[in-house]
Structure 1
Amino acid sequence: MTGLGTALRAETLAWRRSAVQRIATPLLVLLVPVAAVGLVALARSGAVVGAGAAKLAPYATGDAATTQLVAAGQVLSVAALLATGFAAAAAFAQPLADGRAGAYFGLATPRSTVALARCLVLLGWAAACAAGAVLLAVAASAVPSAGLGAEAWAAGGRALVAGLLAAGLALPFGAVATATRSPLATVGALIGVVAVTQMVVLVGGGAWFPYAVPSLWTGMGGPAAASAVGPVGLLLAAAAVPVGLAVVAWQWRRLTDV
């Protein structure tokens, strides 16, 4: 535990100083509430017609605060996956790609412990960003509405859980980053999974495909698709965290400096 605590402190400091963190944090925290409010406002403005209006139709009716928080969950379910996936590419692949791998062999702390600490730091950062984004979305929805109803609070809670699930689903890309030692290859794999997710949803398997579950659960595919996501689908999505932790720790235990 002492070694893990030391690794957590070191990895936290390194991540705080990371350029990726400094760019991704404000983008993730601010993008979600801004996009949610903007989508609802645009849908209700009447300024969009044709195909665009049809796509925005779900945001054009109902309680504005609830709709904004539903939209926040939908945006966060995608943004958290992408942001945490990019973070994993930077945190795991870049040190191996630029030749710093040899330094890990001189540490008293086992490499698997370092990898575990790095994963936990990324998850903690992503969870904090998701919470901050949802809090801002709640505030942006509550002020003009003079408070939130039960449905709005439920939508906000679902948005937070969806963001956490999406962040956890990015953790296996730390394993991809370690295996390829390439940030670019890791990002390519992330984009490939997003594309595959779209195809799985099109053929009707999204409720069982972990990478589709958070966005479908928030209603991105419509009410019917959201209701099809059950406890099993949510558990499959959540399983990405322990699986990712175990695989990355195993990889780093067997890591070589070549």
Structure 2
Amino acid sequence: MRPSLWAEAVKLTGSTVGRVGSVAVVAGIAVLSGAMLAAAASGDPQLLAKLGPAATRDWNGFLLAAAQITSAGGLLGFGVVLSWIFGREFGDGTITGLFALPVRRTTIAVAKMLVYGAWAVAISVCLALLLLLVGLVAGLGVLTADVWTALGRQVVLGIMTAAIAAPVAWAATLGRSVLAGVSVAIGLVVIAQVAVLAGAGGWMPLAAPALWAISSGQNVTPLQLGLVLPYVAFFTLFTAAAWRTMQLDR
């Protein structure tokens, strides 16, 4: 497992997609959150009405905006990187070489997922730190216990948002392309939004993390949030199984 983890880590950190994806998720969400903060300071009644609860120029409004952006934009960003991790082997033609390695393909798939998970944790922590810096520069006030709790919740939201992108790995494997995974990532964003509008709420794993973060943990029960774990495990196992039974003649 260790050689596979090392190989996948080198692939991700040395790739353009890995670097651009990291910057896009961290800097992109931070910039958009800052833009919403600036919009809240404009005093435009119509704009404030559109921003809703995020219209307050304080830590609460700022981190609420960040959570909303992370739940949608972050899911797409994480999904694109995950799709590349699993789909690049087919696009670059390196999948043939993987069959020749004395390593089980299931091990390779699990290593890819573990490296993705470690990257997602690092990205989520970096995003929270950058949001903290933006908030301090904007002069949002004293860092109270509630602010630190919200920042911690932002980290957890980032990790869970990356986790619920798990079907992308399966799609990229079955479709044998990065595009197949990206298409599913876009679909996941749409499904999450529709689920919220349909009233599925916390019972929908795709929507539960966002609702949990936006409501400060009030509108989603631990049981509902816990459904994310079997959801991720299900698609991880299916992805590993797809790699185990993979054939080169199709």
TM-score with structure 2 setting the length? 0.91
1:92 corresponds to which residue? 86
Q: Distance in 1 between matches of 2:20 and 2:177?
A: 20
In the alignment, is the contact (CA less than 8 A) between 1:210 and 1:234 conserved in 2? yes
In the alignment, is the contact (CA less than 8 A) between 2:87 and 2:176 conserved in 1? yes
Task: Pick the aligned partner of 1:252 from 217, 239, 243.
Answer: 243
1:142 aligns with 2:116: no
In the alignment, is the contact (CA less than 8 A) between 1:172 and 1:240 conserved in 2? no
Q: Distance in 2 between matches of 1:178 and 1:246?
A: 12
Residue 227 of structure 1 aligns to a residue whose secondary structure is coil
Q: Distance in 1 between matches of 2:73 and 2:229?
A: 17
Task: Pick the aligned partner of 1:197 from 172, 192, 211.
Answer: 192
Residue identity in the other structure for 1:90:
W
Residue identity in the other structure for 1:27:
A
Q: Distance in 2 between matches of 1:120 and 1:24?
A: 17
- Taking a change above 3 Å as real, the CA distance of residues 192 and 146 of structure 1, as seen in their structure-2 partners, is closer
1:37 aligns with 2:28: no
Structure 1: which 4+ aligned runs deviate by more than 6 Å?
none
- Taking a change above 3 Å as real, the CA distance of residues 231 and 251 of structure 1, as seen in their structure-2 partners, is same
Q: Which runs of 5+ in 1 are unaligned?
A: none
Q: Distance in 2 between matches of 1:91 and 1:183?
A: 8
Q: Distance in 1 between matches of 2:60 and 2:49?
A: 20
Q: How many equivalent pairs are there?
A: 248
1:23 corresponds to which residue? 20
Task: Pick the aligned partner of 1:186 from 178, 181, 184.
Answer: 181
CA positional deviation for 1:214: 1.8
1:112 corresponds to which residue? 106
1:6 corresponds to which residue? 3
In the alignment, is the contact (CA less than 8 A) between 1:37 and 1:68 conserved in 2? yes
- 1:38-81 CA-to-partner distances (Å, cap 9, x unmatched) read 212211221x443x3312131233x7123212222222222332
1:228 corresponds to which residue? 219
Q: Distance in 1 between matches of 2:181 and 2:143?
A: 40
CA positional deviation for 1:252: 1.0
Percent identity, aligned pairs only?
Answer: 33
In the alignment, is the contact (CA less than 8 A) between 2:75 and 2:162 conserved in 1? yes
Q: Distance in 2 between matches of 1:156 and 1:117?
A: 29
1:237 corresponds to which residue? 228
1:169 aligns with 2:164: yes
1:155 corresponds to which residue? 150
1:71 aligns with 2:68: no
Q: Which runs of 5+ in 2 are unaligned?
A: none
**Alpha-carbon RMSD:** 1.9
Q: Distance in 1 between matches of 2:166 and 2:21?
A: 16
Residue 228 of structure 1 aligns to a residue whose secondary structure is coil
